[in-house]
C-alpha cells in the first residue's frame, strides 16, 4: 500500500502561516460540505461521531498542508514531481506528491505533458527490429489564475461511460446516497450533500498513476516496471492442498493465501466472490471460515461490485479483500485522498487478480450460446490461456475459441483500464506467465513478500522464481505493456459529450 504520512504536527511552520493556512482550509468546499452535514452523516449511521471528527480533522490537516504547499510553490516554471519534492522539505515527500496531484484537481496547479519518441531495438518473431516508443514526461506549475474546482458527485463518471462498477463510492459516501450494482449507479439527489468525497476516491475520476510512480520510486527496496508497477519479487506457484486443487482456477494461490490468513488469525474475515443463485453471476461475500472460503475458489468472468460490501465489514478489526485491479486502485485512492486517512482502516491485505477485461453477466450468457452453442448452466469452468477462451462442461468435454472472438463481449468501460497486474495490490496473482495449474505471483512490499514466503515455509504453496519458468515474467511484462498501450484515455467532459 502507498503509505501517505499524515503530518499532524506542522513543525517548523510559523504560527502566523499556520493560522492563515488553517483559516483558508476551513473554507474549502469539501471540508464545509462535510462539516455542515454532521447531523445527516451521523443519522445515516455509516460513520460514528468519533469517526466523523477523525475524518474532518484529517481533511482540515490535509487541506492546511495543501495551502502551505501552494505558498511554497511560488515558482513559475513547470517542475517534475521529484523537483517539487526537493524544493518543499517541510512535509514528507509522499505528502507533497499527493498534495500536488490534488491541487491540480482543485484547479490551482497545471499539468504539462510532454511526449518524446525514441527508437529502440526489439526482437519481433526472432528478428531484431527498430521500433518507436513514446515516453511521457509530466511537469507541474502554479496556474496564473487559479479557478477552484468543485468535485461533482460520481454520477458524472458513470454518465461518461467510464465507471468500472467497483462500488467503492457507495461504501465511502457518508450519507448512503450512492447505490452501485454490477451495471448501474444511482445517486439520490435529495440525500447527496455534494461533498465530492466519492469523486476524490473514485479510481476513474482522476489519475493517481503519476503520484504512485513517484511515491513508489522513493522506496529503494522496490523494483519498478513501467508495465507492471512496483514490486519486490515475482514467483510461479501452485497449492499443495488437494481441497484447494478441487476448487481453484489456476495455482489456487489466492485461496491458499486467504486460508493462511484466516488460520493464523491475521484476519477476522475476507471479502471474496462466489456464484450467486444464478450460476456464473458473481456475488460479493464476507467469509469468516475456510469451509466458506472454498466456495469462492475459481474465476467468475462477469464483474462483481465487490467494494459495495466493505461498509458491512465494520465489525471486523482486520479484513482481506480480493478483487480486480480497478478495485485495488480504488482502495489505494481512498487512502490518499482527500486526506491520507484511509476510510476503512481494517482493510489489512489487498489480494489483486490479473485482469485483461471482465464481462457483463448478460453477455457471458450470450458468449456461451453464440460461441459454443451451450447454456451457461452446463459450464463448470471458464478460462483464458494460450490466446484462447476455454470452457469445461459438466459432460467432461472441453471447448475453446480464439480469444479475439470473445473480446466483443467484454465490458466497454474496461477499455479505459491500463492495469493488468493489480499494481496497487499487496500481492497480485494471475495465470499469464505460468504453466497450467500454476499462478504467477507478484509481491509488492517487503511485508507482502515476507507473508508469501511464510506461507511457502508453512508448506501450503510450492514456489519458484517467475524468471525460472517459461514463458514467465517476459510474457507478464509484454501483456502488461499491451494493456497500457491499448488503454483509452479518460476525459470526463469529452466522454460525457460522446455518451
Ligand X SMILES: Cc1cc2nc3c(=O)[nH]c(=O)nc-3n(C[C@H](O)[C@H](O)[C@H](O)COP(=O)(O)OP(=O)(O)OC[C@H]3O[C@@H](n4cnc5c(N)ncnc54)[C@H](O)[C@@H]3O)c2cc1C
Q: What is the binding site for ligand SF4 (CB under 6 A)?
A: 153-154, 157-158, 163-169, 173, 175, 177-178, 180, 185, 187, 192-198, 202-204, 303, 324-326, 330, 355, 357-358, 411, 414, 417
Between helix 29-36 and helix 15-26 the angle, nearest 10°, is: 60
Residue from 153, 174, 325, 430 in contact with ligand X (CB under 6 A): 430
Its sign, for the CA torsion 466, 467, 471, 476, is positive
Residue 356 sits in the site that holds ligand X (CB under 6 A): yes
**Residue placing its CB nearer to ligand X in the complex, 66 or 300:** 300
Residue from 180, 234, 429, 442 in contact with ligand X (CB under 6 A): 429
Nearest distance from C-beta of residue 35 to ligand X, angstroms: 36
Nearest distance from C-beta of residue 20 to ligand SF4, angstroms: 28
Residue from 254, 307, 336, 455 in contact with ligand X (CB under 6 A): 254
Interface characters, 259-298, with ligand X (x: CB under 6 A): -------------xx--------x-------------xxx
Binding at 323: pick from ligand X, ligand SF4, none (beta carbon under 5-8 Å per type): ligand X
Nearest distance from C-beta of residue 177 to ligand SF4, angstroms: 4
**# chain residues binding ligand X, by CB under 6 A:** 34
Residue from 299, 308, 443, 495 in contact with ligand X (CB under 6 A): 299
Q: What is the rounded distance in angstroms from the CA atom of residue 386 to the CA atom of residue 398?
A: 15
Binders of ligand X among residues 431 to 450 (CB under 6 A) are 431-432, 439
Cis before 471 (ω within 30): yes
Binders of ligand X among residues 336 to 355 (CB under 6 A) are 353-355
Binding at 180: pick from ligand X, ligand SF4, none (beta carbon under 5-8 Å per type): ligand SF4
Residue from 92, 196, 252, 360 in contact with ligand X (CB under 6 A): 252
Nearest distance from C-beta of residue 430 to ligand X, angstroms: 3
Contact 94, 85 (CB under 8 A): no
Binding at 306: pick from ligand X, ligand SF4, none (beta carbon under 5-8 Å per type): ligand X
Residue 30 sits in the site that holds ligand X (CB under 6 A): no
Binders of ligand X among residues 230 to 249 (CB under 6 A) are 248-249
Binding at 169: pick from ligand X, ligand SF4, none (beta carbon under 5-8 Å per type): ligand SF4
**Residue placing its CB nearer to ligand X in the complex, 157 or 384:** 384
**Residue placing its CB nearer to ligand SF4 in the complex, 106 or 239:** 106
Give residues in contact with ligand X (CB under 6 A).
248-255, 272-273, 282, 296-301, 303-304, 306, 322-324, 353-356, 358, 384, 429-432, 439
Amino acid at each position: 500500500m502507498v503509505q501517505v504520512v499524515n503530518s499532524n504536527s506542522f513543525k517548523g511552520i510559523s504560527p502566523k502561516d499556520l493560522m492563515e493556512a488553517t483559516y483558508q482550509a476551513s473554507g474549502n468546499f469539501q471540508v464545509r460540505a462535510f462539516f455542515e452535514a454532521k447531523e445527516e452523516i451521523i443519522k445515516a449511521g455509516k460513520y460514528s461521531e468519533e469517526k466523523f471528527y477523525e475524518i474532518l480533522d484529517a481533511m482540515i490537516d490535509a487541506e492546511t498542508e495543501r495551502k502551505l504547499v501552494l505558498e511554497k510553490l511560488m515558482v513559475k516554471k513547470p517542475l517534475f514531481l521529484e523537483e517539487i519534492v526537493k524544493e518543499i522539505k517541510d512535509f514528507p515527500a509522499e505528502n507533497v506528491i499527493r498534495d500536488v496531484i490534488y491541487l491540480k484537481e482543485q484547479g490551482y496547479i497545471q499539468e504539462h505533458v510532454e511526449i518524446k519518441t525514441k527508437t529502440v531495438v526489439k526482437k519481433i518473431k526472432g528478428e531484431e527490429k527498430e521500433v518507436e516508443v513514446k515516453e511521457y514526461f509530466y511537469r507541474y506549475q502554479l496556474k496564473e489564475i487559479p479557478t477552484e474546482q468543485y468535485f461533482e458527485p460520481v454520477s458524472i463518471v458513470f454518465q461518461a461511460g467510464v465507471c468500472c462498477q467497483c462500488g467503492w463510492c457507495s461504501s465511502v459516501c457518508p450519507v448512503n446516497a450512492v447505490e452501485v450494482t454490477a451495471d448501474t449507479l444511482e445517486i439520490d439527489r435529495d440525500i447527496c450533500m455534494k461533498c465530492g468525497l466519492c469523486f476524490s476516491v473514485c479510481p476513474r475520476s482522476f489519475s493517481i498513476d503519476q503520484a504512485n510512480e513517484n511515491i513508489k520510486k522513493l522506496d529503494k527496496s522496490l523494483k519498478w516496471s513501467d508495465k507492471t508497477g512496483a514490486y519486490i519479487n515475482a514467483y510461479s506457484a501452485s497449492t499443495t492442498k488437494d481441497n484447494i486443487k478441487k476448487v481453484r482456477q489456476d495455482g489456487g494461490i489466492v485461496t491458499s493465501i486467504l486460508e493462511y490468513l484466516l488460520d493464523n488469525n491475521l484476519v477476522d474475515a475476507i471479502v471474496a466472490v462466489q456464484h450467486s443463485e444464478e450460476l456464473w453471476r458473481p456475488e460479493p461475500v464476507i467469509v469468516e471460515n475456510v469451509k466458506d472460503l472454498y466456495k469462492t475458489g475459481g474465476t467468475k468472468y462477469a464483474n462483481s461490485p465487490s467494494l459495495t460490501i466493505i461498509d458491512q465489514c465494520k465489525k471486523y478489526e482486520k479484513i482481506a479483500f480480493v478483487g480486480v485491479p480497478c478495485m485495488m486502485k480504488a482502495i489505494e485512492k481512498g487512502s490518499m485522498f482527500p486526506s491520507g486517512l484511509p476510510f476503512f482502516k481494517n482493510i489489512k491485505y489487498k489480494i489483486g487478480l490479473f485482469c485483461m477485461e471482465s464481462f457483463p453477466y448478460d453477455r457471458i450468457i450470450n458468449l456461451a450460446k453464440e460461441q459454443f452453442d451451450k447454456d451457461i448452466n452446463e459450464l463448470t469452468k471458464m478460462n483464458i490461456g494460450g490466446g484462447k477462451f476455454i470452457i469445461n462442461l459438466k459432460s467432461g468435454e472441453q471447448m475453446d475459441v480464439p480469444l479475439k472472438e470473445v473480446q466483443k463481449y467484454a465490458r466497454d468501460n474496461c477499455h479505459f483500464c491500463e492495469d493488468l497486474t493489480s499494481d496497487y495490490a499487496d500481492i497480485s496473482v494471475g495465470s499469464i506467465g505460468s504453466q497450467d495449474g500454476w499462478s504467477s505471483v507478484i509481491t509488492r512490499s517487503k511485508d507482502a513478500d515476507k507473508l508469501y514466503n511464510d506461507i511457502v515455509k508453512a508448506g501450503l504453496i510450492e514456489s519458484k522464481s517467475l524468471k525460472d519458468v517459461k514463458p514467465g515474467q517476459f510474457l507478464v511484462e509484454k501483456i502488461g505493456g499491451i494493456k497500457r498501450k491499448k488503454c483509452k484515455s479518460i476525459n470526463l467532459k469529452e466522454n460525457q459529450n460522446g455518451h
